[in-house]
Amino acid sequence: MKLKRELKKLGIGLLMVCSLVLIAGCSSSSKEQESKDTKIVQTDKGEVEIPANPTRIVSDYYLGEFLAVDTKPIIASPYALENPFLADYIEGIEPLNITSAETSLEMIAQAEPDLIVTITEADYDKYSKIAPTVYIEDGKRSDEELFEYIASLVNKEEEAKQYMDDFYAKANEMKPAVQDVVKDQTVSIVEVWPQQIYSMGSHFARGGTILYDLWDLKAPEVVQKEMVDGDEAYKVISLEALPEYTGDYILYGVLSDTEPDFVEDSAIWNNLPAVKDGQVMPYQQVAFMHRDPISLNGQMDELYAFFTKNGE
């Protein structure tokens, strides 16, 4: 009788162990199957088969778009990683070794990514030999369309929509206070590069979409015509043309390691109404050159603070 009870207990124990093994096996098999699942996406290079749920992503440019939907690439562009607006999100991401094309490819290959997202068409074929690669042509999509597209690669379309809904709600909430300060004055964007001056409108980052598209502020007449209402992204202008291309307010950036004295020490610059009235907002070029959702949010905060402070 005792032996019978012991055999019964042993049988139950073995049954439980077998069940656990089966459950674990099913779970492992399920995860393995999930990692093998793929989907077809439309890219700027045609249809590409990528993992259904990519987890090891390399991006040589686009970063904030992934981070905004809580997806962290394993390797990203060092230039994107220098963006101060992304500083709180990038722990653990390795900067791509851009010493040479060979070092970049070697680093990417060693990381064994399951998806590469690139802005560089010339690198597409090389990347494609390492992992499924999505080429995204720069400037082909609006900022929102680009964000939604990147979010769709990682199945985060709803998260992207919510992020943009919140962003637009915030822009609309800020808009009346900014318009109350600026009124019918004009706002311009000027950026200094080595011996070059760039004028920009609403098509080339630097907060332009926020100023002109979301807050409906006006640019100087020539900028409004060519780079806000028109399709021109930017224009290289002479020092002598500054009075024509600058308005009552100036957003002013300087490319890293650039000496801006040829502008700032000139009589033309110092006689501009915005300069004389203290209505110039210096911006950090590495932060304002990006158009991802996190950067746009940070830019909007800085722009709002600048205008409302000027209105006090």
pLDDT digits (tens, 9 = 90+) for 211-224: 999 999 999 999 99
CA distance 132 to 77: 18
Q: Considering the entire predicted model, what is its pTM? A: 0.86
| Average pLDDT estimate for 195-200 | 97
Inter-axis angle of helices 293-310 and 143-153, nearest 10: 150
Burial environment of residue 163 by CB neighbours within 10 A (0 to 12, 13 to 18, 19 or more): buried
Q: Which tokens is 44 given?
A: 């700027």
Pairing of the two strands 75-76 and 94-95: parallel
The predicted structure's pLDDT at residue 169: 98
The answer to whether 48 and 40 are in contact (CB under 8 A) is yes
Give the end-to-end CA distance of the chain in Å, rounded to a whole number.
93
The answer to whether 188 and 251 are in contact (CB under 8 A) is yes
Place of tokens 């259904």: 52
| Torsion 52-58-61-62 (CA) sign | positive
pLDDT digits (tens, 9 = 90+) for 18-74: 343 344 444 444 444 445 799 999 999 999 999 999 999 999 999 999 999 999 999
CA distance 155 to 145: 15
pLDDT digits (tens, 9 = 90+) for 251-284: 999 999 999 999 999 999 999 999 999 999 999 9
Residue 261: Cβ within 10 Å count:
9
Tell me, what DSSP letter sits at residue 119? Answer: S
